[in-house]
Amino acid sequence: MKKRFISLLLMVSILLSTFSAGTALAQDDQLYLEDLLTNSLASEDLIVGDTYGIYPQSWYLSDMNKPISHAQLRVLMAGLRHKILKTDCVIDYEEVKFKLHEKMTVKEVLEAFYLLISSYDFEGDIGIVDGGNAVNYMKTHGIYKSKIDLSLKDVCSIEQACVIATRLITYIYDALDAASKGFLWEINSGENTVYLLGSIHVANYDIYPFSKKMLKAFDESDVLYVEVDLLGGIDELPNLLEQYGLYTDGTTLKDHVSEETYEKTINIFSMLGMSEEEIIMYKPWVIQYILAPLAAINNVDMEDVENLTLDASLGVDLKFLLDAYLKGKPVEELESYELQIKLLDSFSDQLDEYLLVNTLDSLLGISQENEALEANMFNQMLEYWHTGDVEGFMEVIAPILVQSELPFDLNEEDNEVLALMEEYYDKLLTQRDKVMAEKIDRLLKEEGGKTYFIVVGAAHYISNYSILDILKEKGYEINQIK
C-alpha cells in the first residue's frame, strides 16, 4: 500500500501543483514571448503552434523571416504527419512523392501541404475533393489568409510555414472532432456566466488542440481566473521561498527529519556540488521543490530531457494565461503564490519528511518499480481529459486519488501512511475547495452581467466534497460542455 501511495502522490501533484508550470518558462522563452507579444503579426498562431509540437522551438533562436530550408520543410511535414495520425481518424494512406527544394514559394508550400493531407483517408470529411485546388482549399478553410500572409509568389519564410502548418492542424482537428474537449462546465446565474475548466497542470502535446467550444467559452469571457497567475506573479517566488522556506527558530533540517533522511539529503546535494552548510537551513518542502525536477529527469534518457521540461509549460493553465496576456484579457487569482507556499509550510514534520523521502528515493532509483503505474495513470488521465470523459475519470481515477477504495487490512505502517495522506488531501483539496467555491459563488451573485472563465486543477472537481458539490448544494445548475 505504501508503494501505491508513493505513486499516487506523484500523480495527484499533476492535478494540483502549479509551481512546476510557473517555473517552466526558461529565460530565453520569456524573452521570446515578450518579443512575440509585441512584434509579430503571426504571434497568436505561433503560440498555438508551440503546443502542437510540429516544429522544434529551437527555430526561434534563428531568424524566423529567413526562407524555410528544404531540411526544415521536411521536419515540419513530419510533424504534420505525426499530429495527423494522433487524431486516430486515419483509415488509409497512399504513398506520394514530394518535390521539395530550397526557397519554395508560399504557393509551393501550400501545394506540398495539400498533397500531404490528400494522401490520407479519414473517418470524417476534411473537405478534400477530386481535382481540388490547394490554394482554394487553404483560402476556403482559413489556412492561408491572403490579406495578412505573404503573397503566393513570395519565398516562404520559416515563420509563414509554421503558421500555415499550425492553422492546418487546427482545421483538421476541428473538422474531425478530434480536438480535446476537456473537463468543462457552465453555470448561469442571472446575467452572469461561469465556465469551470478542470486543468491538467502538467501535460503533453497530445492534448492539443482544444475544442472550438472550449476556446469559444474562453474568448467570450470577460475575465480569466486561475489558481495563481504563473506569469504575472513569478517574480515574487524567490522572496516568498526565502521568507517561508528557511528555519528561523534556531533549528535546522537535522532537527526535523530522521538521521537516515538527513544523510540521504546531504549525500544527494554533495553529488550536485553543494555543501551541507548551503542546504541545512532549508525546510524539507523547499528541498523537495528543488529536487523534484531532477527526480523526474533521473528516470528518463537524457535525449528526452528537453521534452520533459516542456511538460509543465504545456499545462492547461499556462496555455490560457498566454492567450489572456496576448489578447489583453484581465487575469485574476483565486489564490496566490503566497497562499500556496503557506500551505506547503503548514505540513507536519512527518508529512514533510514523507514527501521528501519519496523524492530522494526516486533520485536514488529506489522507487523505479512505480514508473509503469505512474505512466499508465498519467496517460489515462490525459485520455479522459481529451475526450471529456468525466464519468470515466470519476470511475477509474477519482476513487484512487480521493481514497474511496482502500483495503481494510491495514497494518501499522499503512495506517501511518493513511494518516499522512488524510492531512495531505485535507490541506490540498478540502480546505481549498471550500474557499474557491465561495469565491465562485460571489462572482455568480455579482451585478453587471459578466462571463468568467475559471481554470483550476481537475482534482478540485473530483474530491469527496468538491467545488462542484459545494456549488450544487448552493442551488446552482451545472452543465457539462463537450
Q: pLDDT tens digits for 34-80?
A: 444 444 556 788 888 989 999 998 898 888 999 999 999 999 999 99
268 located within any domain: no
Q: How far apart are CA 274 and CA 161, in angstroms?
A: 46
Q: Are residues 125 and 146 in the same domain?
A: yes
- Which of 204-218, 242-256, 292-306, 355-369 has the least mean pLDDT? 292-306
Question: Residue 86: which region, alpha, beta or left (left: phi > 0; alpha: psi -120 to 50)?
Answer: alpha
pLDDT tens digits for 169-202? Answer: 999 999 999 999 999 999 999 999 999 999 988 7
Residue 376 lies in a domain: yes
Q: Where a domain ends, among 148, 175, 202?
A: 175
- The Cα–Cα gap between 53 and 307 comes to 10
Share of the chain above pLDDT 90, in %: 50
Going from the C-alpha of 290 to that of each of 158, 192, 257, the distances in angstroms are: 37, 42, 17
DSSP 69: P
- Domain limit, last residue, from 159, 175, 191: 175
- Name the most confidently modeled range: 208-217, 275-284, 291-300, 422-431: 208-217
Query: 121 and 225, same structural domain?
Result: no
Residue 293 has pLDDT above 70, yes or no: no
Distance, CA of 347 to CA of 423 (rounded, Å)? 8
CA within 13 Å, CB half, 296: 22
**Banded pLDDT at 246 (limits 50, 70, 90):** very high
In whole numbers, what is the pLDDT of the chain averaged over residues?
A: 83
Tell me how many domains the chain contains: 2
CB atoms within 10 A of CB 465: 14
CB-CB contact of 462 with 394 (8 Å) = yes
Q: What is the pTM of this model?
A: 0.85
DSSP 68: P
**Domain assignment present for 209:** yes
Note whether 366 and 318 are same-domain residues.
Answer: yes
> Is 103 found in the same domain as 55?
yes
305/344 same-domain check: yes
For 227, the domain range is: 2-19+182-246+282-481
pLDDT of residue 1: 38
**What does the buried/exposed string (b/e) look like for 271-306 if buried means 16 or more CB atoms within 10 Å of the residue's CB?**
eeeeeeeebbebbbbbbbbbbbbebbeebeeeeeee
Asked if 182 and 206 count as a contact pair (C-beta separation under 8 A), the reply is no
Assigned C-alpha cell, 86: 494522433
**Quick check: is 275 in a domain?**
no
Residue at which a domain ends, from 175, 206, 226: 175
pLDDT for 241 equals 84
Asked whether residue 270 is assigned to any structural domain, the reply reads no
Which uninterrupted H or E stretch holds 67? none
* Residue 357 falls inside a structural domain: yes
If asked whether residues 380 and 472 sit together in one domain, one would say: yes
Q: Is there a domain that residue 266 lies in?
A: no
Same domain, 7 and 28: no
